[in-house]
Amino acid sequence: MVIRSLLDHQQFYDPTGAAERLGICSASWPLFGLLWPSSVRLAEQFAQRPVCPDERILEIGCGLALASLVGHRQGARITASDRHPLAEAFLEENASLNDLTSVQYRHGQWGATSKPSLEDIGAEHLSARYDLVIGSDLLYERDTPEMLASFIDDHATASAEVWMVDPDRGHRSAFNRHMATYGFQLMRDTRLGRSLPSAVAAQDYKGRLLVYRRQP
């Protein structure tokens, strides 16, 4: 699969201040547009999952949305979501580069104190509930586990499954506790090793696939 990304983590372009109003500083601005090892592992694992035609799937904090593109190519009903104002444009470009139809996209942001304007995000707000929620490398700050678990609860069905690839940033235990408060039981904790050959998989990967399930 061909993926267009930013050149490196030094990129920054926010002429109207839209990213800043969404809580994205200049240092974190380019992070959405880079292909991270955890996103590759998520896409690899997701590609092995059988497609269920009636299942609604959501990728949160998608960045370049590699897993969403892989799932879309396989026929999954998937929606990609992120808070970055350019995530949708990159998603559309990468779908086109791979001869795919458009992938549904929604603005999804956890921990926001106020609802951002449509002018800033350029997309519809995430509002539906999904049978499967997936994400990668999202547990990067101390307060993230609580906010992320709450966000997942807001957009997951009563019997939803959650897949999270975490590169051992140290917040996994807290996330497990917060997920449990919303009825999600950790069903699988699998260490992921070396990836398939790729430019972002030159070294062994130190991280895990966490799979949660909620019983109605």
Give pLDDT, residue 2. Answer: 95
Q: Is residue 145 part of a domain?
A: yes
Q: Is residue 80 part of a domain?
A: yes
- Amino acid 75 reads G
Structural domain range at position 111:
34-214
Q: Map tokens 């500083």 to a residue.
A: 25
Give per-residue burial for 14-53: e unless 16+ CB within 10 Å, then b: beeebbebbebeeeebbbbbbbbbbbbbbbbbbeebeeee
Give pLDDT, residue 112. Answer: 65
Length of the chain, in residues: 216
Contact between 202 and 196 (Cβ < 8 Å): no
Does the pTM exceed 0.85?
A: yes
Contact between 44 and 1 (Cβ < 8 Å): no
Q: Is residue 24 part of a domain?
A: no
Phi, psi for residue 176 in degrees, rounded to 5: -60, -45
Helices of type H across the chain = 18-21, 37-47, 66-73, 87-97, 118-121, 144-155, 172-181
pLDDT at 195 over 70: no
Q: Is residue 1 part of a domain?
A: no
pLDDT in tens, 134-145: 999 999 899 999
Q: Is residue 7 part of a domain?
A: no
Cα distance between residue 41 and residue 203, in whole Å = 13
Give pLDDT, residue 206. Answer: 85
Contact between 80 and 55 (Cβ < 8 Å): no
Q: Is residue 142 part of a domain?
A: yes
Give pLDDT, residue 202. Answer: 47
Cα distance between residue 150 and residue 115, in whole Å = 16
The total number of structural domains in the chain stands at: 1
User: DSSP letters of 93-106?
Assistant: HHHHHTT-PPPEEE
Give pLDDT, residue 191. Answer: 92
Give pLDDT, residue 197. Answer: 54
Cα distance between residue 30 and residue 205, in whole Å = 22
Q: Is residue 12 part of a domain?
A: no
Q: Is residue 18 part of a domain?
A: no
pLDDT at 80 over 60: yes
CATH number at residue 205: 3.40.50.150
User: DSSP letters of 62-94?
Assistant: -TT-HHHHHHHHTT-EEEEEES-TTHHHHHHHH
